[in-house]
């Protein structure tokens, strides 16, 4: 009959095998997580490789160093933030709309491309587009007669469009 002292090497072998397997799984999991995380935060291939190698070589210390040095936001978060900023800037800027049909028009248009309403007129002296309500050209100082724009109703617009 074997004594417990004779079985200790067997138990130590099993314990070291289990601990080694858990350690390898833990390092593998940390490495995979680090690689996925840095890919979501940076497009720099060298940074992705270096961060992953750091965690492979020094598992716990490398993970702590990576967590201290990694970019604060993911690429998706940065993209969403830039979209939000762009939307805010567009909301701040007053888009020009045609008084006749309500379509967005560029500030350099003299006529609306959708309904052909005159939006601005060209200065007789310098040919820059100026608002119809202005009495003075801001580019050359020439005096102009202002005009009043009246919005075109839907029925008038349909009547004026050729069939």
Q: Where are the domains of the chain?
A: 4-76, 94-163
Closest to 161 in 3D by CA, of 117, 97, 109: 117
CB-based contact 142:125 (threshold 8 Å):
yes
The neighbour count for residue 39, using CB atoms within 10 Å, is 16
Q: Quick one: how many helices (H) and strands (E) in the chain? A: 5, 2
CA-CA-CA-CA torsion sign (111, 117, 123, 129):
negative
pLDDT tens for 82-140 read 999 988 887 777 678 888 888 888 878 888 888 988 888 888 888 888 888 888 888 88
Low-confidence winner among 13-17, 72-76, 137-141 (lowest mean pLDDT):
137-141
What is the length of the chain?
163
pTM over 0.85: no
Mean pLDDT of 3-16: 86
CB-based contact 84:78 (threshold 8 Å):
no
Closest to 97 in 3D by CA, of 112, 75, 108: 112
């Amino acid at each position: 009959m074997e004594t417990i002292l004779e079985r200790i090497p067997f138990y130590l072998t099993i314990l070291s095998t289990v601990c080694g397997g858990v350690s390898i799984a833990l390092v593998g999991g940390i490495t995979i997580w680090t690689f996925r995380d840095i890919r979501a935060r940076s497009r720099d291939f060298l940074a992705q490789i270096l961060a992953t190698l750091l965690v492979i070589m020094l598992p716990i210390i490398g993970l702590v160093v990576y967590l201290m040095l990694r970019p604060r936001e993911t690429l998706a978060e940065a993209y969403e933030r830039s979209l939000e900023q762009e939307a805010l800037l567009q909301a701040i800027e007053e888009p020009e709309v045609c008084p006749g049909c309500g379509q967005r028009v560029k500030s350099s248009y003299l006529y609306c491309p959708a309904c052909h309403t005159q939006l601005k007129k060209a200065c007789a002296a310098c040919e820059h587009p100026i608002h119809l309500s202005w009495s003075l050209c801001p580019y050359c100082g020439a005096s102009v007669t202002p005009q009043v724009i009246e919005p075109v109703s839907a029925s008038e617009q349909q009547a004026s469009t050729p069939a």
